[in-house]
Amino acid sequence: MQAEQSEVLDFLRRHPPFSTLPDKESANVANNVEVAYYRADSTILQLGQDNHQWYVIRSGAVEVFRRDGQLYNRLGTGDFFGEQSLMLNRPVRFPVTALEDTLIYIIGEQTFNYLFDNFEHFADFVEVEDQTRLRQSMAKREDDNGLLTAKVENLITTLPVTVCSSTTVHQAALRMTEENVSSLLITRSSTNQTEPETQVIGIITDLDIRRRLVAEGLSSEIPVADIMTTELIYVQSHQFVFEAMMLMLKHNVQHLPVLRKSQPIGLISHIDILRYESENSLFVVKNIFSGQSVDELASLIHDVQGCFTRMVHQDANSQMIGSAMAVVGRSFKQRLCELGEASLGPPPVPYCFLALGSMARGEQLIVTDQDNAIILSNNYDPDLHGSYFEALANFVCDGLARCGYSYCTGDIMATNTRWRQPLAVWQQYFSQWIEQPSAESLLHSAIFFDLEGIWGQTHWAEQLNRLIRQKAHKNSHFLACMARNALLRTPPLGFFKDFVMETDGRQTNSINMKRRGTAPIADLIRLHALAIGSSARNSFERLKDVIEAGILPPGRGQDLRDALEFIAMVRIRHQALDIELKREPDNNIEPEYLSDFDRKNLKEAFQILSSAQRYMKFRYQPGRVN
Q: Using one digit for the tens of pLDDT, what is the confidence trace for 191-218?
A: 555 444 567 888 998 888 999 999 999 9
Average pLDDT over all residues of the chain: 86
Q: Which of 425, 452, 472 is the last residue of a domain?
A: 472
420 lies in the same domain as 487? no
479 lies in the same domain as 458? no
Cβ-based burial of 98 (10 A; exposed 0-12, middle 13-18, buried ≥19): buried
Q: What is the CATH number of the domain that holds 537?
A: 1.20.120
Residue 137, domain member (yes or no): no
Asked whether residue 121 carries a pLDDT value surpassing 70, the answer given is yes
309 lies in the same domain as 416? yes
Q: What are phi and psi of 264, to 5 degrees?
A: -70, 130
501 lies in the same domain as 415? no
| pLDDT > 70 fraction of the chain, expressed in percent and rounded | 89
pLDDT tens figures, 560-584: 999 999 999 999 999 998 998 888 8
Q: What is the CATH number of the domain that holds 363?
A: 3.30.460.10
pLDDT tens figures, 370-406: 999 999 999 999 999 999 999 999 999 999 999 999 9
Residue 143, domain member (yes or no): no
Residue 150, domain member (yes or no): no
State the pLDDT at residue 5: 77
163 lies in the same domain as 310? no
333 lies in the same domain as 465? yes
Asked whether residue 135 carries a pLDDT value surpassing 80, the answer given is no
Asked whether residue 279 carries a pLDDT value surpassing 80, the answer given is no
Q: In 491-558, at which residue ranges do the beta strands (DSSP E only) sit?
A: 511-512
Q: What number is the average pLDDT over the span 141-168? A: 71
How far is the C-alpha of 405 from the C-alpha of 407, rounded, in Å?
7
Q: Which of 421, 455, 472 is the last residue of a domain?
A: 472
Is the Cβ–Cβ distance between 76 and 57 less than 8 Å?
Answer: yes
CA distances from 618 to 277, 495, 554, 614 (A): 45, 20, 16, 6
What is the three-class DSSP state of 456? Answer: strand
515 lies in the same domain as 616? yes
pTM of the model: 0.63
3-class SS shares of the chain: helix, strand, coil, % to 5: 50, 15, 30
Q: Which of 232, 260, 275 is the last residue of a domain?
A: 275
Residue 331, domain member (yes or no): yes
Q: What is the CATH number of the domain that holds 35?
A: 2.60.120.10
State the pLDDT at residue 560: 93
State the pLDDT at residue 122: 86
| pLDDT > 90 fraction of the chain, expressed in percent and rounded | 49
State the pLDDT at residue 433: 94
Residue 356's beta-bridge partner residues?
451
Residue-range definition of the domain harbouring residue 12: 3-131
Residue 193, domain member (yes or no): yes
118 lies in the same domain as 254? no
186 lies in the same domain as 309? no
Q: What is the CATH number of the domain that holds 233?
A: 3.10.580.10
How far is the C-alpha of 12 from the C-alpha of 32, rounded, in Å?
13
State the pLDDT at residue 298: 95
Asked whether residue 418 carries a pLDDT value surpassing 90, the answer given is yes
460 lies in the same domain as 491? no
Least confident of 67-76, 79-88, 301-310, 336-345: 67-76
pLDDT tens figures, 54-66: 999 999 889 888 7
Number of domains the chain contains: 4
394 lies in the same domain as 510? no
159 lies in the same domain as 124? no
How far is the C-alpha of 410 from the C-alpha of 48, rounded, in Å?
57
153 or 571, greater pLDDT: 571
How far is the C-alpha of 364 from the C-alpha of 538, rounded, in Å?
11
Residue 536, domain member (yes or no): yes
User: What is 158-191 written as a DSSP string?
Assistant: SPPPEEETTSBHHHHHHHHHHHT-SEEEEEEE--
